[in-house]
Structure 1
Amino acid sequence: YTGDITHYDVGLGSCGWTNTDSDAIVAIPHGMMNNGINPNLNPLCGQYITISFNGTLNQAKIVDTCGGCDGASIDLSPTLFEAVAPSGDGRVHNVNWWFNN
């Protein structure tokens, strides 16, 4: 997938876990997350993705749904965002990522 990355203040995610800004976590787009009646039971919760940008690879755990993310854009914890795009201004375009199987 290719989309934008942004960062957000994490906390209690749609998967039911409380996270911190220093965790390597991600919220994926609402259209991909497909939360059912109980989003805590979403099979994507706890899976990992790989984010590729400027020759670096970073792993992130899926813990939340990004309600404002369109297409393949994802929301990252602040620490992960800094690791992926240290010079980013809050939004970075054309970042590649994929589900780890």
Structure 2
Amino acid sequence: MNYYGGGLGACGKPIADTEMVAALAIDGFGASTYDTATGNPTNKWCNQKIRISYNGKTADATIMDRCAGCTGAGGLDATPALWEALTGGIGGASGDRLESGMTFTLIN
């Protein structure tokens, strides 16, 4: 898992750095699909709630983007707010990439 700055997500909605949002690896997410007329997402992963666990910490997030640079179907990118909730900070000892130990499950 990495962290990244917000912007327009693959689900067609803007994402702020302060939101608890994740981007799913392109291998799992698939095509970036949303109705350009309405802006409504048509990809099954858009707006899916997930619970992420790392090193004894847990945070809930919403999938609103896809990550072209993530590896494997379960790779994630996190907004700075989500990254901080799971690692305790940006940069420094937490670095900017988690190589292992992160898991997530779907929640409804």
Fold in common (TM above 0.5): yes
Aligned partner of 1:88: which letter?
S
Q: What SS is found at the alignment partner of 1:81?
A: helix
**CA–CA separation in structure 2 for the residues paired with 1:96 and 1:88:** 17
Cα root mean square deviation, aligned: 1.4
**CA–CA separation in structure 2 for the residues paired with 1:97 and 1:63:** 15
Q: Which of these residues, 75, 79, 92, is aligned with residue 81 of structure 2?
A: 79
Structure 1 unaligned blocks of 5 or more: none
Partner of 1:96: 103
Q: Percent identity?
A: 31
Partner of 1:68: 69
> What displacement does 1:25 show?
0.1
Q: Does 1:34 align with 2:30?
A: yes
- Structure 1 moving runs of 4+ over 2 Å: none
> What displacement does 1:93 show?
2.2
Q: What SS is found at the alignment partner of 1:41?
A: coil
**CA–CA separation in structure 2 for the residues paired with 1:88 and 1:82:** 9
Q: Kindly tell me the number of residue pairs found equivalent between the two proteins.
A: 96
TM-score under structure 1 normalisation? Answer: 0.87
Structure with bigger gyration radius: 2
Q: Which has the higher contact order (CA 8 A, sep 6+)?
A: 1
Structure 2 unaligned blocks of 5 or more: 35-40
Q: Does 1:49 align with 2:50?
A: yes
Q: What SS is found at the alignment partner of 1:42?
A: coil
